Chain A
Protein backbone atom coordinates (compact mmCIF):
# COMPACT_ATOMS: atom_id res chain seq x y z
CA UNK A 1 0.00 0.00 0.00
CA UNK A 2 1.23 3.47 -0.81
CA UNK A 3 2.35 5.77 1.98
CA UNK A 4 -0.23 8.42 1.05
CA UNK A 5 -3.10 5.98 1.33
CA UNK A 6 -1.80 4.70 4.65
CA UNK A 7 -1.60 8.21 6.15
CA UNK A 8 -5.13 8.84 4.91
CA UNK A 9 -6.40 5.79 6.76
CA UNK A 10 -4.52 6.58 9.95
CA UNK A 11 -5.81 10.16 9.92
CA UNK A 12 -9.40 9.00 9.40
CA UNK A 13 -9.03 6.51 12.25
CA UNK A 14 -7.80 9.26 14.57
CA UNK A 15 -10.65 11.54 13.47
CA UNK A 16 -13.15 8.77 14.14
CA UNK A 17 -11.81 8.32 17.66
CA UNK A 18 -11.96 12.08 18.34
CA UNK A 19 -15.57 12.09 17.07
CA UNK A 20 -16.37 9.25 19.46
CA UNK A 21 -14.91 11.18 22.41
CA UNK A 22 -16.91 14.30 21.52
CA UNK A 23 -20.12 12.28 21.03
CA UNK A 24 -19.52 10.70 24.43
CA UNK A 25 -19.47 14.14 26.09
CA UNK A 26 -22.24 15.82 24.10
CA UNK A 27 -24.92 13.12 23.79
CA UNK A 28 -27.24 12.10 26.60
CA UNK A 29 -27.09 8.72 28.29
CA UNK A 30 -29.81 7.10 26.15
CA UNK A 31 -28.18 8.09 22.87
CA UNK A 32 -24.76 7.05 24.11
CA UNK A 33 -26.14 3.62 24.90
CA UNK A 34 -27.56 3.25 21.40
CA UNK A 35 -24.31 4.43 19.85
CA UNK A 36 -22.45 1.93 22.00
CA UNK A 37 -24.70 -0.84 20.69
CA UNK A 38 -24.10 0.39 17.14
CA UNK A 39 -20.36 -0.10 17.62
CA UNK A 40 -20.88 -3.57 19.03
CA UNK A 41 -23.14 -4.57 16.15
CA UNK A 42 -20.57 -3.23 13.67
CA UNK A 43 -18.03 -5.64 15.17
CA UNK A 44 -20.50 -8.52 15.09
CA UNK A 45 -21.73 -7.72 11.59
CA UNK A 46 -18.19 -7.56 10.22
CA UNK A 47 -17.19 -10.78 11.93
CA UNK A 48 -20.08 -12.65 10.32
CA UNK A 49 -19.47 -10.92 7.01
CA UNK A 50 -15.92 -12.24 7.03
CA UNK A 51 -17.21 -15.79 7.46
CA UNK A 52 -20.33 -15.60 5.32
CA UNK A 53 -19.90 -12.67 2.95
CA UNK A 54 -16.22 -12.97 2.13
CA UNK A 55 -15.46 -16.66 2.51
CA UNK A 56 -18.92 -17.94 1.63
CA UNK A 57 -19.31 -20.18 4.69
CA UNK A 58 -22.96 -20.16 5.65
CA UNK A 59 -22.58 -20.23 9.42
CA UNK A 60 -25.51 -19.87 11.81
CA UNK A 61 -23.46 -20.30 14.96
CA UNK A 62 -22.59 -16.73 15.74
CA UNK A 63 -24.59 -16.44 18.94
CA UNK A 64 -22.65 -19.35 20.41
CA UNK A 65 -19.29 -17.63 19.94
CA UNK A 66 -20.74 -14.40 21.30
CA UNK A 67 -21.91 -16.29 24.38
CA UNK A 68 -18.41 -17.64 24.95
CA UNK A 69 -16.94 -14.14 24.69
CA UNK A 70 -19.65 -12.65 26.90
CA UNK A 71 -19.29 -15.23 29.67
CA UNK A 72 -15.50 -15.05 29.60
CA UNK A 73 -15.54 -11.28 29.98
CA UNK A 74 -18.21 -11.39 32.67
CA UNK A 75 -16.40 -14.00 34.75
CA UNK A 76 -13.06 -12.24 34.42
CA UNK A 77 -14.28 -8.76 35.32
CA UNK A 78 -16.82 -9.39 38.11
CA UNK A 79 -15.46 -8.86 41.60
CA UNK A 80 -15.28 -11.69 44.10
CA UNK A 81 -18.09 -10.22 46.25
CA UNK A 82 -20.46 -9.87 43.30
CA UNK A 83 -19.72 -13.44 42.28
CA UNK A 84 -20.44 -14.72 45.78
CA UNK A 85 -23.77 -12.90 45.69
CA UNK A 86 -24.70 -14.03 42.20
CA UNK A 87 -23.82 -17.71 42.59
CA UNK A 88 -26.27 -18.38 45.40
CA UNK A 89 -27.70 -21.64 44.06
CA UNK A 90 -24.34 -23.33 43.74
CA UNK A 91 -21.04 -21.70 44.69
CA UNK A 92 -18.57 -20.93 41.97
CA UNK A 93 -15.38 -22.89 41.39
CA UNK A 94 -12.94 -21.27 43.89
CA UNK A 95 -10.22 -20.69 41.32
CA UNK A 96 -12.55 -18.74 39.04
CA UNK A 97 -14.20 -16.94 41.94
CA UNK A 98 -10.99 -15.19 42.90
CA UNK A 99 -9.94 -14.60 39.31
CA UNK A 100 -10.17 -10.98 38.30
CA UNK A 101 -8.40 -9.30 35.42
CA UNK A 102 -8.37 -5.78 33.96
CA UNK A 103 -11.08 -5.06 31.43
CA UNK A 104 -8.84 -5.02 28.35
CA UNK A 105 -7.30 -8.37 29.25
CA UNK A 106 -10.78 -9.81 29.80
CA UNK A 107 -12.07 -8.66 26.40
CA UNK A 108 -9.06 -10.05 24.57
CA UNK A 109 -9.37 -13.29 26.55
CA UNK A 110 -13.04 -13.42 25.50
CA UNK A 111 -12.03 -13.09 21.87
CA UNK A 112 -9.31 -15.73 22.18
CA UNK A 113 -11.64 -18.12 23.95
CA UNK A 114 -14.24 -17.75 21.19
CA UNK A 115 -11.49 -18.18 18.59
CA UNK A 116 -10.34 -21.38 20.30
CA UNK A 117 -13.87 -22.77 20.18
CA UNK A 118 -14.24 -21.51 16.61
CA UNK A 119 -11.15 -23.51 15.71
CA UNK A 120 -12.26 -26.65 17.57
CA UNK A 121 -15.75 -26.56 16.07
CA UNK A 122 -14.58 -25.35 12.66
CA UNK A 123 -12.03 -28.11 12.16
CA UNK A 124 -14.58 -30.91 11.84
CA UNK A 125 -17.57 -28.86 10.66
CA UNK A 126 -15.88 -26.99 7.81
CA UNK A 127 -15.61 -30.21 5.83
CA UNK A 128 -19.30 -29.61 5.17
CA UNK A 129 -20.67 -27.07 2.76
CA UNK A 130 -23.76 -24.92 2.27
CA UNK A 131 -26.91 -25.95 4.12
CA UNK A 132 -25.17 -28.78 5.95
CA UNK A 133 -22.64 -26.36 7.36
CA UNK A 134 -25.46 -24.01 8.40
CA UNK A 135 -27.26 -26.78 10.27
CA UNK A 136 -24.10 -28.07 11.94
CA UNK A 137 -23.02 -24.62 13.13
CA UNK A 138 -26.54 -23.89 14.35
CA UNK A 139 -26.40 -27.14 16.30
CA UNK A 140 -23.05 -26.30 17.86
CA UNK A 141 -24.26 -22.87 18.86
CA UNK A 142 -27.19 -24.47 20.70
CA UNK A 143 -24.83 -27.02 22.28
CA UNK A 144 -22.71 -24.16 23.65
CA UNK A 145 -25.83 -22.57 25.10
CA UNK A 146 -27.01 -25.81 26.70
CA UNK A 147 -23.56 -26.42 28.19
CA UNK A 148 -23.63 -22.91 29.65
CA UNK A 149 -27.00 -23.65 31.25
CA UNK A 150 -25.70 -26.85 32.78
CA UNK A 151 -22.31 -25.74 34.06
CA UNK A 152 -23.80 -24.04 37.06
CA UNK A 153 -20.63 -23.79 39.12
CA UNK A 154 -18.93 -21.87 36.34
CA UNK A 155 -21.63 -19.95 34.52
CA UNK A 156 -24.38 -19.83 37.14
CA UNK A 157 -26.61 -21.77 34.74
CA UNK A 158 -30.01 -20.46 33.73
CA UNK A 159 -29.90 -17.74 36.39
CA UNK A 160 -27.40 -15.78 34.35
CA UNK A 161 -24.85 -13.29 35.57
CA UNK A 162 -25.76 -9.94 37.04
CA UNK A 163 -23.66 -7.01 38.08
CA UNK A 164 -21.05 -7.11 35.35
CA UNK A 165 -19.09 -3.90 35.97
CA UNK A 166 -19.94 -1.37 33.30
CA UNK A 167 -17.42 1.01 31.86
CA UNK A 168 -18.50 4.57 32.60
CA UNK A 169 -16.70 7.75 31.91
CA UNK A 170 -17.31 8.95 35.44
CA UNK A 171 -13.78 10.16 36.12
CA UNK A 172 -13.54 12.15 32.89
CA UNK A 173 -16.95 13.66 33.46
CA UNK A 174 -16.12 14.55 37.04
CA UNK A 175 -12.98 16.26 35.83
CA UNK A 176 -14.92 18.20 33.19
CA UNK A 177 -17.68 19.18 35.59
CA UNK A 178 -15.26 20.31 38.28
CA UNK A 179 -13.25 22.44 35.91
CA UNK A 180 -15.71 23.77 33.37
CA UNK A 181 -19.04 23.64 35.17
CA UNK A 182 -21.05 22.13 32.30
CA UNK A 183 -23.19 19.91 34.51
CA UNK A 184 -23.56 16.71 32.45
CA UNK A 185 -24.09 13.30 33.93
CA UNK A 186 -21.60 10.53 33.40
CA UNK A 187 -22.58 7.88 30.87
CA UNK A 188 -21.17 4.69 29.40
CA UNK A 189 -17.64 5.05 28.18
CA UNK A 190 -17.97 4.84 24.42
CA UNK A 191 -14.28 4.62 23.84
CA UNK A 192 -13.94 0.89 24.47
CA UNK A 193 -16.52 -0.27 21.95
CA UNK A 194 -15.64 2.63 19.65
CA UNK A 195 -11.96 1.83 19.46
CA UNK A 196 -12.72 -1.87 19.22
CA UNK A 197 -14.97 -1.30 16.23
CA UNK A 198 -12.46 1.02 14.53
CA UNK A 199 -9.77 -1.62 15.05
CA UNK A 200 -12.09 -4.34 13.73
CA UNK A 201 -12.94 -2.34 10.62
CA UNK A 202 -9.25 -1.69 9.96
CA UNK A 203 -8.30 -5.32 10.58
CA UNK A 204 -11.01 -6.77 8.33
CA UNK A 205 -10.28 -4.18 5.63
CA UNK A 206 -6.57 -4.96 5.64
CA UNK A 207 -7.23 -8.70 5.77
CA UNK A 208 -9.66 -8.62 2.86
CA UNK A 209 -7.26 -6.69 0.67
CA UNK A 210 -4.32 -8.94 1.46
CA UNK A 211 -3.46 -12.08 -0.43
CA UNK A 212 -5.26 -14.16 2.20
CA UNK A 213 -8.43 -12.10 1.81
CA UNK A 214 -8.30 -12.64 -1.93
CA UNK A 215 -7.90 -16.36 -1.36
CA UNK A 216 -11.02 -16.24 0.88
CA UNK A 217 -12.96 -14.55 -1.90
CA UNK A 218 -11.68 -17.09 -4.40
CA UNK A 219 -13.08 -19.86 -2.18
CA UNK A 220 -16.43 -18.06 -2.07
CA UNK A 221 -16.46 -17.69 -5.85
CA UNK A 222 -15.49 -21.21 -6.83
CA UNK A 223 -14.12 -23.83 -4.47
CA UNK A 224 -13.04 -26.22 -7.21
CA UNK A 225 -11.11 -23.56 -9.10
CA UNK A 226 -9.59 -22.18 -5.88
CA UNK A 227 -8.39 -25.64 -4.94
CA UNK A 228 -6.76 -26.25 -8.29
CA UNK A 229 -5.01 -22.87 -7.98
CA UNK A 230 -3.17 -24.32 -4.99
CA UNK A 231 -5.31 -22.78 -2.25
CA UNK A 232 -5.65 -25.15 0.69
CA UNK A 233 -9.42 -24.89 1.19
CA UNK A 234 -9.53 -26.36 4.64
CA UNK A 235 -6.73 -24.22 6.06
CA UNK A 236 -8.20 -21.01 4.69
CA UNK A 237 -11.74 -21.82 5.77
CA UNK A 238 -10.60 -22.60 9.31
CA UNK A 239 -8.54 -19.38 9.35
CA UNK A 240 -11.50 -17.27 8.29
CA UNK A 241 -13.85 -19.03 10.69
CA UNK A 242 -11.45 -18.64 13.62
CA UNK A 243 -10.86 -14.95 12.97
CA UNK A 244 -14.61 -14.41 12.61
CA UNK A 245 -15.18 -16.21 15.92
CA UNK A 246 -12.51 -14.08 17.58
CA UNK A 247 -14.33 -10.88 16.69
CA UNK A 248 -17.67 -12.45 17.60
CA UNK A 249 -16.19 -13.14 21.03
CA UNK A 250 -14.97 -9.55 21.35
CA UNK A 251 -18.41 -8.29 20.31
CA UNK A 252 -20.13 -10.63 22.75
CA UNK A 253 -17.85 -9.52 25.56
CA UNK A 254 -18.53 -5.86 24.89
CA UNK A 255 -22.26 -6.61 24.69
CA UNK A 256 -22.13 -8.27 28.11
CA UNK A 257 -20.40 -5.23 29.56
CA UNK A 258 -22.81 -2.79 27.97
CA UNK A 259 -25.88 -4.72 29.17
CA UNK A 260 -24.48 -5.44 32.63
CA UNK A 261 -26.40 -8.69 32.84
CA UNK A 262 -26.42 -11.79 30.68
CA UNK A 263 -28.21 -15.12 30.70
CA UNK A 264 -28.32 -18.07 28.29
CA UNK A 265 -31.63 -17.03 26.68
CA UNK A 266 -29.95 -13.92 25.31
CA UNK A 267 -27.82 -16.09 23.04
CA UNK A 268 -30.61 -17.92 21.30
CA UNK A 269 -30.81 -18.21 17.53
CA UNK A 270 -32.66 -14.90 17.25
CA UNK A 271 -29.43 -13.09 18.11
CA UNK A 272 -27.66 -14.76 15.19
CA UNK A 273 -30.64 -13.79 13.05
CA UNK A 274 -30.17 -10.11 13.94
CA UNK A 275 -26.60 -10.26 12.74
CA UNK A 276 -27.52 -12.08 9.55
CA UNK A 277 -30.04 -9.29 8.97
CA UNK A 278 -27.22 -6.76 9.24
CA UNK A 279 -24.97 -8.71 6.88
CA UNK A 280 -27.66 -9.29 4.24
CA UNK A 281 -28.92 -5.71 4.37
CA UNK A 282 -25.43 -4.27 4.22
CA UNK A 283 -24.40 -6.54 1.41
CA UNK A 284 -22.42 -9.76 1.44
CA UNK A 285 -18.75 -8.94 1.34
CA UNK A 286 -19.36 -5.22 1.72
CA UNK A 287 -17.58 -3.55 4.63
CA UNK A 288 -19.09 -0.08 4.28
CA UNK A 289 -22.57 -1.53 3.81
CA UNK A 290 -22.21 -3.60 6.97
CA UNK A 291 -21.21 -0.55 8.99
CA UNK A 292 -24.19 1.46 7.72
CA UNK A 293 -26.67 -1.37 8.15
CA UNK A 294 -25.38 -2.22 11.66
CA UNK A 295 -26.12 1.38 12.70
CA UNK A 296 -29.46 1.47 10.88
CA UNK A 297 -30.68 -1.81 12.35
CA UNK A 298 -29.59 -0.87 15.88
CA UNK A 299 -31.21 2.55 15.70
CA UNK A 300 -34.36 1.19 14.05
CA UNK A 301 -34.66 -1.47 16.78
CA UNK A 302 -34.98 1.40 19.25
CA UNK A 303 -36.90 3.82 17.07
CA UNK A 304 -39.55 1.23 16.19
CA UNK A 305 -40.15 0.33 19.81
CA UNK A 306 -43.48 2.20 19.67
CA UNK A 307 -44.80 -0.60 17.43
CA UNK A 308 -44.70 -3.02 20.35
CA UNK A 309 -46.89 -0.75 22.44
CA UNK A 310 -50.60 0.03 21.96
CA UNK A 311 -50.90 1.94 18.70
CA UNK A 312 -53.14 4.98 18.24
CA UNK A 313 -54.32 4.93 14.64
CA UNK A 314 -56.46 8.10 14.82
CA UNK A 315 -59.88 6.47 15.17
CA UNK A 316 -58.88 3.37 17.09
CA UNK A 317 -56.33 2.10 19.53
CA UNK A 318 -54.87 -1.37 18.98
CA UNK A 319 -53.77 -3.64 21.76
CA UNK A 320 -50.08 -3.92 22.51
CA UNK A 321 -48.46 -6.42 20.17
CA UNK A 322 -45.00 -7.35 21.44
CA UNK A 323 -42.85 -8.41 18.51
CA UNK A 324 -44.47 -6.26 15.83
CA UNK A 325 -41.05 -4.61 15.49
CA UNK A 326 -39.61 -7.87 14.27
CA UNK A 327 -42.37 -8.19 11.67
CA UNK A 328 -41.21 -4.89 10.23
CA UNK A 329 -37.65 -6.18 10.17
CA UNK A 330 -38.73 -9.34 8.41
CA UNK A 331 -40.44 -7.26 5.74
CA UNK A 332 -37.32 -5.13 5.34
CA UNK A 333 -35.23 -8.28 4.96
CA UNK A 334 -37.60 -9.73 2.38
CA UNK A 335 -37.51 -6.50 0.40
CA UNK A 336 -33.72 -6.46 0.57
CA UNK A 337 -33.49 -10.00 -0.78
CA UNK A 338 -36.01 -9.37 -3.56
CA UNK A 339 -34.40 -6.15 -4.72
CA UNK A 340 -30.87 -7.34 -4.16
CA UNK A 341 -28.41 -7.05 -7.00
CA UNK A 342 -25.21 -8.94 -7.58
CA UNK A 343 -23.23 -6.88 -5.13
CA UNK A 344 -26.24 -6.91 -2.83
CA UNK A 345 -25.59 -3.52 -1.27
CA UNK A 346 -28.26 -1.29 0.17
CA UNK A 347 -27.47 1.43 -2.34
CA UNK A 348 -27.98 -0.77 -5.36
CA UNK A 349 -31.17 -2.17 -3.82
CA UNK A 350 -32.53 1.37 -3.54
CA UNK A 351 -31.46 2.09 -7.10
CA UNK A 352 -33.25 -1.00 -8.23
CA UNK A 353 -36.46 0.01 -6.44
CA UNK A 354 -36.24 3.37 -8.14
CA UNK A 355 -35.53 1.75 -11.48
CA UNK A 356 -38.41 -0.67 -11.15
CA UNK A 357 -41.02 1.95 -10.44
CA UNK A 358 -39.62 4.84 -12.43
CA UNK A 359 -39.90 2.95 -15.72
CA UNK A 360 -43.68 2.62 -15.70
Chain B
Protein backbone atom coordinates (compact mmCIF):
# COMPACT_ATOMS: atom_id res chain seq x y z
CA UNK B 1 0.00 0.00 0.00
CA UNK B 2 2.77 2.43 0.90
CA UNK B 3 6.21 2.06 -0.63
CA UNK B 4 9.04 4.24 0.61
CA UNK B 5 11.94 3.96 -1.82
CA UNK B 6 15.35 5.07 -0.70
CA UNK B 7 14.34 8.45 0.66
CA UNK B 8 16.92 10.92 1.89
CA UNK B 9 16.20 14.20 3.61
CA UNK B 10 18.92 16.78 4.08
CA UNK B 11 18.52 20.03 5.98
CA UNK B 12 21.56 21.98 4.87
CA UNK B 13 24.45 19.77 6.00
CA UNK B 14 22.41 17.61 8.33
CA UNK B 15 21.22 14.31 6.97
CA UNK B 16 18.01 13.66 8.91
CA UNK B 17 17.03 10.55 7.00
CA UNK B 18 19.50 8.60 4.90
CA UNK B 19 18.36 6.23 2.14
CA UNK B 20 15.44 4.79 4.08
CA UNK B 21 13.34 2.12 2.43
CA UNK B 22 10.19 0.58 3.86
CA UNK B 23 6.92 -0.91 2.84
CA UNK B 24 3.54 -0.98 4.52
CA UNK B 25 1.16 -3.64 3.22
CA UNK B 26 -2.59 -3.51 3.37
CA UNK B 27 -4.16 -4.37 6.77
CA UNK B 28 -0.83 -4.30 8.57
CA UNK B 29 0.18 -2.39 11.65
CA UNK B 30 3.77 -1.35 11.08
CA UNK B 31 5.91 0.32 13.72
CA UNK B 32 8.77 2.75 13.29
CA UNK B 33 11.08 3.01 16.27
CA UNK B 34 14.43 4.52 17.06
CA UNK B 35 16.18 6.65 19.66
CA UNK B 36 15.43 10.38 19.95
CA UNK B 37 16.46 12.34 16.89
CA UNK B 38 16.62 9.24 14.71
CA UNK B 39 14.47 10.88 12.03
CA UNK B 40 11.17 9.09 12.61
CA UNK B 41 8.96 12.16 12.51
CA UNK B 42 10.87 13.39 9.45
CA UNK B 43 9.82 10.18 7.69
CA UNK B 44 6.19 10.94 8.61
CA UNK B 45 6.56 14.49 7.43
CA UNK B 46 7.80 13.26 4.09
CA UNK B 47 4.95 10.78 3.74
CA UNK B 48 2.38 13.48 4.51
CA UNK B 49 3.96 16.01 2.16
CA UNK B 50 5.20 18.48 4.76
CA UNK B 51 8.74 17.93 3.48
CA UNK B 52 9.72 16.91 -0.01
CA UNK B 53 12.41 14.20 0.11
CA UNK B 54 15.76 15.41 -1.20
CA UNK B 55 16.17 12.06 -2.91
CA UNK B 56 14.03 9.01 -3.47
CA UNK B 57 10.29 8.70 -3.80
CA UNK B 58 7.21 7.52 -1.98
CA UNK B 59 4.37 5.71 -3.71
CA UNK B 60 0.94 5.26 -2.21
CA UNK B 61 -1.45 2.81 -3.84
CA UNK B 62 -4.79 2.72 -2.01
CA UNK B 63 -6.01 0.04 -4.41
CA UNK B 64 -4.57 -2.24 -7.07
CA UNK B 65 -5.37 0.02 -9.98
CA UNK B 66 -4.42 3.48 -8.80
CA UNK B 67 -1.21 4.66 -7.26
CA UNK B 68 0.10 8.12 -6.48
CA UNK B 69 3.60 9.44 -6.21
CA UNK B 70 3.50 11.49 -3.02
CA UNK B 71 6.47 13.71 -3.73
CA UNK B 72 4.45 15.82 -6.18
CA UNK B 73 1.44 16.29 -3.89
CA UNK B 74 0.77 18.89 -1.21
CA UNK B 75 -0.30 17.86 2.32
CA UNK B 76 -3.99 18.58 1.68
CA UNK B 77 -3.96 16.55 -1.54
CA UNK B 78 -2.32 13.67 0.31
CA UNK B 79 -5.09 13.83 2.93
CA UNK B 80 -7.63 13.66 0.11
CA UNK B 81 -6.21 10.47 -1.38
CA UNK B 82 -6.43 8.72 1.97
CA UNK B 83 -3.44 9.29 4.25
CA UNK B 84 -4.11 11.04 7.52
CA UNK B 85 -1.98 11.54 10.61
CA UNK B 86 -1.90 12.56 14.22
CA UNK B 87 0.85 14.63 15.78
CA UNK B 88 3.49 13.96 18.39
CA UNK B 89 2.54 17.12 20.30
CA UNK B 90 -1.25 17.16 20.02
CA UNK B 91 -2.46 19.64 17.44
CA UNK B 92 -6.18 19.96 17.96
CA UNK B 93 -8.21 23.01 17.03
CA UNK B 94 -8.08 23.99 20.69
CA UNK B 95 -10.74 26.65 20.90
CA UNK B 96 -13.28 24.80 18.82
CA UNK B 97 -15.76 22.29 20.18
CA UNK B 98 -15.09 18.56 20.10
CA UNK B 99 -17.87 18.20 17.53
CA UNK B 100 -16.41 20.92 15.29
CA UNK B 101 -12.98 19.32 15.44
CA UNK B 102 -14.35 16.10 13.99
CA UNK B 103 -16.70 17.97 11.64
CA UNK B 104 -13.75 19.78 10.06
CA UNK B 105 -12.22 16.40 9.27
CA UNK B 106 -15.16 15.92 6.88
CA UNK B 107 -14.62 19.22 5.07
CA UNK B 108 -12.27 17.78 2.47
CA UNK B 109 -15.14 15.76 0.97
CA UNK B 110 -17.48 18.77 0.69
CA UNK B 111 -18.57 19.30 -2.91
CA UNK B 112 -20.87 22.31 -2.51
CA UNK B 113 -19.46 25.70 -3.36
CA UNK B 114 -19.13 28.61 -1.00
CA UNK B 115 -22.31 30.39 -2.01
CA UNK B 116 -24.53 27.33 -1.81
CA UNK B 117 -23.05 26.74 1.65
CA UNK B 118 -23.75 30.28 2.82
CA UNK B 119 -27.29 30.30 1.48
CA UNK B 120 -27.88 26.76 2.75
CA UNK B 121 -29.06 25.42 -0.59
CA UNK B 122 -30.41 21.85 -0.54
CA UNK B 123 -27.25 20.25 -1.93
CA UNK B 124 -25.26 21.76 0.93
CA UNK B 125 -27.74 20.99 3.72
CA UNK B 126 -27.83 17.39 2.57
CA UNK B 127 -24.05 17.15 2.68
CA UNK B 128 -23.91 18.96 6.02
CA UNK B 129 -26.34 16.50 7.56
CA UNK B 130 -24.24 13.58 6.35
CA UNK B 131 -21.14 15.24 7.81
CA UNK B 132 -22.87 15.70 11.16
CA UNK B 133 -24.13 12.13 11.21
CA UNK B 134 -20.68 10.86 10.37
CA UNK B 135 -19.08 12.98 13.10
CA UNK B 136 -21.67 11.85 15.61
CA UNK B 137 -21.06 8.22 14.70
CA UNK B 138 -17.32 8.65 15.15
CA UNK B 139 -17.67 10.42 18.48
CA UNK B 140 -19.98 7.69 19.74
CA UNK B 141 -17.61 4.97 18.57
CA UNK B 142 -14.67 6.66 20.26
CA UNK B 143 -16.59 7.40 23.46
CA UNK B 144 -16.39 11.17 23.13
CA UNK B 145 -20.01 11.99 22.37
CA UNK B 146 -20.78 13.16 25.91
CA UNK B 147 -18.15 15.90 25.55
CA UNK B 148 -19.23 16.98 22.07
CA UNK B 149 -19.91 20.60 23.04
CA UNK B 150 -16.82 21.11 25.14
CA UNK B 151 -13.81 23.00 23.89
CA UNK B 152 -11.07 20.65 22.75
CA UNK B 153 -8.44 22.07 25.11
CA UNK B 154 -10.60 21.38 28.16
CA UNK B 155 -10.49 17.61 27.61
CA UNK B 156 -8.13 15.45 29.67
CA UNK B 157 -4.95 14.41 27.90
CA UNK B 158 -5.96 10.89 26.98
CA UNK B 159 -9.21 12.09 25.46
CA UNK B 160 -7.39 14.75 23.46
CA UNK B 161 -5.28 11.98 21.95
CA UNK B 162 -8.43 10.04 21.13
CA UNK B 163 -10.10 13.13 19.66
CA UNK B 164 -7.11 13.65 17.42
CA UNK B 165 -7.53 10.13 16.13
CA UNK B 166 -11.29 10.71 15.71
CA UNK B 167 -10.57 13.81 13.67
CA UNK B 168 -8.13 11.91 11.50
CA UNK B 169 -10.68 9.11 10.99
CA UNK B 170 -13.26 11.66 9.83
CA UNK B 171 -11.17 12.22 6.70
CA UNK B 172 -11.80 8.53 5.91
CA UNK B 173 -8.16 7.54 5.56
CA UNK B 174 -7.00 4.23 4.23
CA UNK B 175 -3.62 4.62 5.85
CA UNK B 176 -3.44 6.15 9.32
CA UNK B 177 -0.15 7.51 10.63
CA UNK B 178 0.11 7.77 14.41
CA UNK B 179 3.01 9.80 15.76
CA UNK B 180 3.70 8.61 19.31
CA UNK B 181 0.10 7.93 20.31
CA UNK B 182 1.13 6.71 23.77
CA UNK B 183 3.37 9.67 24.64
CA UNK B 184 2.68 10.87 28.16
CA UNK B 185 0.31 8.06 29.04
CA UNK B 186 0.42 5.97 32.20
CA UNK B 187 0.59 2.14 31.96
CA UNK B 188 -3.14 1.69 32.24
CA UNK B 189 -3.90 4.28 29.56
CA UNK B 190 -1.23 2.65 27.38
CA UNK B 191 -2.95 -0.69 27.77
CA UNK B 192 -6.27 0.88 26.75
CA UNK B 193 -4.62 2.55 23.79
CA UNK B 194 -3.36 -0.77 22.48
CA UNK B 195 -6.87 -2.21 22.63
CA UNK B 196 -8.12 0.93 20.98
CA UNK B 197 -5.67 0.81 18.08
CA UNK B 198 -6.61 -2.82 17.36
CA UNK B 199 -10.30 -1.94 17.59
CA UNK B 200 -10.22 0.99 15.17
CA UNK B 201 -8.09 -0.99 12.74
CA UNK B 202 -10.84 -3.61 12.49
CA UNK B 203 -13.78 -1.18 12.58
CA UNK B 204 -12.54 1.24 9.98
CA UNK B 205 -10.62 -1.19 7.84
CA UNK B 206 -7.34 0.66 8.31
CA UNK B 207 -3.71 0.14 7.66
CA UNK B 208 -1.65 1.73 10.42
CA UNK B 209 1.90 3.04 10.45
CA UNK B 210 2.99 4.24 13.87
CA UNK B 211 5.92 5.81 15.66
CA UNK B 212 6.28 4.86 19.28
CA UNK B 213 8.70 4.94 22.18
CA UNK B 214 6.76 2.65 24.49
CA UNK B 215 8.25 -0.73 23.64
CA UNK B 216 5.24 -2.36 25.21
CA UNK B 217 2.95 -0.78 22.63
CA UNK B 218 5.22 -1.47 19.70
CA UNK B 219 5.80 -5.06 20.64
CA UNK B 220 2.13 -5.52 21.51
CA UNK B 221 0.37 -4.25 18.42
CA UNK B 222 2.80 -4.17 15.51
CA UNK B 223 3.06 -6.86 12.90
CA UNK B 224 6.40 -5.59 11.66
CA UNK B 225 8.88 -3.02 12.88
CA UNK B 226 11.43 -0.76 11.21
CA UNK B 227 14.26 0.65 13.29
CA UNK B 228 15.96 3.93 12.49
CA UNK B 229 19.12 5.28 14.06
CA UNK B 230 20.75 8.55 13.05
CA UNK B 231 18.59 8.64 9.97
CA UNK B 232 19.71 5.24 8.77
CA UNK B 233 17.70 2.05 8.62
CA UNK B 234 19.39 -0.47 10.93
CA UNK B 235 16.90 -3.32 11.19
CA UNK B 236 13.44 -4.56 10.34
CA UNK B 237 11.37 -7.60 11.12
CA UNK B 238 8.83 -9.01 13.53
CA UNK B 239 8.75 -7.73 17.13
CA UNK B 240 10.60 -10.85 18.29
CA UNK B 241 13.41 -10.49 15.81
CA UNK B 242 13.81 -6.83 16.68
CA UNK B 243 13.96 -7.47 20.41
CA UNK B 244 16.93 -9.76 19.96
CA UNK B 245 18.72 -7.82 17.25
CA UNK B 246 22.14 -6.74 18.59
CA UNK B 247 22.21 -3.63 16.42
CA UNK B 248 18.95 -2.41 17.92
CA UNK B 249 20.14 -3.07 21.45
CA UNK B 250 23.31 -1.18 20.63
CA UNK B 251 21.40 1.79 19.24
CA UNK B 252 19.16 2.01 22.29
CA UNK B 253 21.54 1.10 25.10
CA UNK B 254 24.98 1.69 23.61
CA UNK B 255 27.92 -0.74 23.95
CA UNK B 256 31.09 -0.69 25.95
Taking Cβ atoms with an 8 Å cutoff, the residues of A that contact B are: 1, 203, 206-207, 210-212, 214-215, 217-218, 221-222, 224-233, 239, 342-343
Contact = CB atoms under 8 A, between A and B. Distances in A.
Q: List 5 A-B pairs, minimum CB-CB distance, nearest first.
A: A230-B108, A230-B79, A221-B93, A225-B91, A210-B117
Contacts of A218: 93, 96, 104, 107
A18 B123 CA distance: 33
Contacts of A207: 114, 117-118
Given A214-B96, A217-B96, A222-B91, A229 B118 contact: no
A229 B124 contact: no
Contacts of A224: 50, 87, 91
B171 interface: yes
Interface in B175-202: none
Interface of B: 48, 50, 74-76, 79-80, 84-85, 87, 91-96, 100, 103-108, 110, 112, 114, 117-120, 124-125, 127-128, 131, 167-168, 171
A233 B120 contact: no
28 contacts: A207-B117, A207-B118, A211-B104, A211-B107, A212-B118, A214-B103, A217-B100, A218-B104, A221-B93, A222-B92, A222-B93, A224-B87, A224-B91, A225-B87, A227-B74, A227-B75, A227-B79, A228-B85, A229-B79, A229-B84, A229-B104, A230-B79, A230-B80, A230-B171, A231-B76, A231-B108, A232-B74, A343-B95
Contacts of B95: 221, 342-343
B131 A228 contact: no
A206 B93 contact: no
A325 to B, nearest CB: 34
A239 B110 CA distance: 15
A222 to B, nearest CB: 5
Given A211-B131, A228-B79, A221 B96 contact: yes
Contacts of A232: 74, 76
Contact of A231 (B94, B96, B103, B104): B104
A228 B110 CA distance: 16
A165 B231 CA distance: 71
Given A228-B48, A342-B95, A214 B107 contact: yes
Contact of B103 (A211, A221, A222, A233): A211
A108 to B, nearest CB: 15
B4 to A, nearest CB: 18
Of A218, A225, A232, A233, chain B has the most CB atoms within 10 Å of the CB of A225
B100 A214 contact: yes
